[in-house]
Structure 1
Amino acid sequence: MEIAAFAFIAVIVLFIVFKRIIEPAYMLIFNKPLYVHFYLFPKKLDESQKAVVRRDFKFYRDLSPVRKGYFEHRVHYFINNYTFLGRGDLEVTDEMKLKIAATGVMLTFGMRSYLPAVFEGIIIYPDVFESRNGDMHKGEFNPAVKAIVFSWKDFQEGLEFDNDNINLGLHEFSHALQLDSLAKRRPGSSAIIYSDMFHEIMAYIDKPENRQKLMETNYFRSYAYTNSFEFIAVILEYFFETPQEFKQKHPDLYDMVKKMINFREG
């Protein structure tokens, strides 16, 4: 009994040291979490589910076998963590859930805490829908009702045309991730790193010479300049859809986005 109690206390002490000393020091030096993936009992997708993810997500296809397993585990938990609701007689299928979950997981794959707490449900309409303010929308993140809403037609198009820099799923999930991170809703290092890099990006684009370069290249669509939330959501679409062009045209901004979501290739 005494040995067990001692072991329990030792584990608690080590955990506190890790959280308060070791990882903060590591983050200060390297600006990234000490670790991202660790799963005692990893979940797997079945072969039919893997086929869907493999077909529609180049991101998944490019991962190493080990990291494919991490991705599948997270997709499984994403589907089970949120409620999926169809509207307008739309039946939500397992394939829909897989595609939505894989999109959300792709965005947060570099983060240890990867399930935003600012939404609980995902609502899917067949096509464009009327929002509460009376406007017709393709998608929206509504923090008041803790929901993300998609037009399935437009969500699908975002996956089918994966190099046009328009991805509705990434866009709306980016809004949720931003609010979740800036409000420090998620525990751990991910929200801190995201928040720090967000402020660095805002400082970067506030400089007249950097803003002028952004305008001159005419790379990002004009909607990006609506406000800071739309800017981040839009550039994350570009980051995943045309990364090489992004890196070539705006290397400094690309590196900041990469650090913000702790992205690594392969």
Structure 2
Amino acid sequence: MVIIFRIIEPAYLLFFNKPLFIFWHPVLNKLNEADKTILRREFPFYLNLSDKKKGYFEHRVKCFIDHYNFDGKDIEVIQEMKLIIAGTYIMLTFGMRTYLLELFENIIIYPSVYYSTINQEYHKGEYNPRMKSVVFSWEDFLSGHQTKDNINLGLHEFTHVLHFYSRKSSDAGAVIFYDEFTEIEKYFDEEHLRNKLKEKQYFREYAYTNKFEFLAVILEHFFETPEIFKKEFPELYENVKAMINFKE
């Protein structure tokens, strides 16, 4: 069975540019009603899912919370914080079969901006592959989550994780992510395309720092203002949609 799957999926990827299947959860982990109430309040994405896929979303949120270590620095990490962080990640990776990645183990949370001894600068968030940690200022994470200003710290840093994953793994989701990113790169590399993006002033200037930040910023926009994104840059929107196997 495994051998057949390994033969079939590469061909399926080639023709359809998506995994052979996404969800395989014979037994679903459950959230209590209080936790589900928080998801309903905080995630329109979750509310718009079918009942069956709501179950998959809840299962993945529960698995994420159980799988990773949450470490508060001068802040108590309560269940609601875990749910909002997990929900953000699961929303981003919902089109991928493999979502619990070994590229990070810790979610480190500070109350607000924190001082990094690595580069002697203050940060709002970062992904540190060497320490296998994703770090957030909770103040900035929550602000990004609650507003639709195309600045979403959670989506931004978790996109960095996925980008790193796409360069290290041969998993179907990683292959698709990497292939679509090579298409997206042209909007950064080719001057005439980059200038068209800049003329619209839709993406903030930070997007043009480097390709890594460009990718993270466009994923923020994809989830926060998808209607505008799709209208202004339909081809780029479709690349991003395919990259994370997003279903509208």
* TM-score between the two structures when normalised by the length of structure 2: 0.97
**Alignment root-mean-square deviation, CA:** 1.0
Where do 5+ consecutive residues of structure 2 fail to align? none
Matched residue, 2:202: 219
CA distance in 2, matches of 1:223, 1:209: 18
Q: Does 1:127 align with 2:112?
A: yes
CA distance in 2, matches of 1:160, 1:78: 21
Q: Which amino acid aligns with 2:159?
A: S
Which protein shows a greater Rg? 1
Q: Does 1:151 align with 2:137?
A: yes
CA distance in 1, matches of 2:133, 2:116: 12
Post-superposition offset of 1:199 = 0.9
Q: Which amino acid aligns with 1:157?
A: S
CA distance in 2, matches of 1:131, 1:154: 16
Q: Does 1:181 align with 2:166?
A: yes
Matched residue, 2:3: 16
Is the Cα–Cα contact under 8 Å of residues 139 and 149 in structure 1 kept in the other structure? yes
Identify if the C-alpha distance between structure 1 residues 158 and 204 changes in structure 2 by more than 3 Å, giving closer, same or farther. closer
Q: Which amino acid aligns with 1:169?
A: G
Where do 5+ consecutive residues of structure 1 fail to align? 1-13
Q: Does 1:42 align with 2:35?
A: no
CA distance in 1, matches of 2:187, 2:157: 23
The aligned runs of 1:196-207 (5 Å cut-off) are 196-207=179-190
Q: Which amino acid aligns with 2:33?
A: E
Q: Which amino acid aligns with 2:100?
A: L
CA distance in 2, matches of 1:209, 1:153: 38
CA distance in 1, matches of 2:215, 2:101: 16
Is the Cα–Cα contact under 8 Å of residues 117 and 180 in structure 1 kept in the other structure? no
Matched residue, 1:192: 175
Post-superposition offset of 1:119 = 0.8
Post-superposition offset of 1:152 = 0.7
Of 211-220 and 236-245, deviating more is: 211-220
Matched residue, 1:117: 102
Alignment coverage as a number of residue pairs: 247
Q: Does 1:107 align with 2:92?
A: yes
Matched residue, 1:6: none
Q: Which amino acid aligns with 1:110?
A: G
Structure 1 runs (4+) greater than 2 angstroms displaced: 203-209
Post-superposition offset of 1:203 = 2.8
**SS of aligned partner of 2:185:** helix
Is the Cα–Cα contact under 8 Å of residues 188 and 214 in structure 2 kept in the other structure? no
The sequence identity of aligned pairs, in percent, is: 56
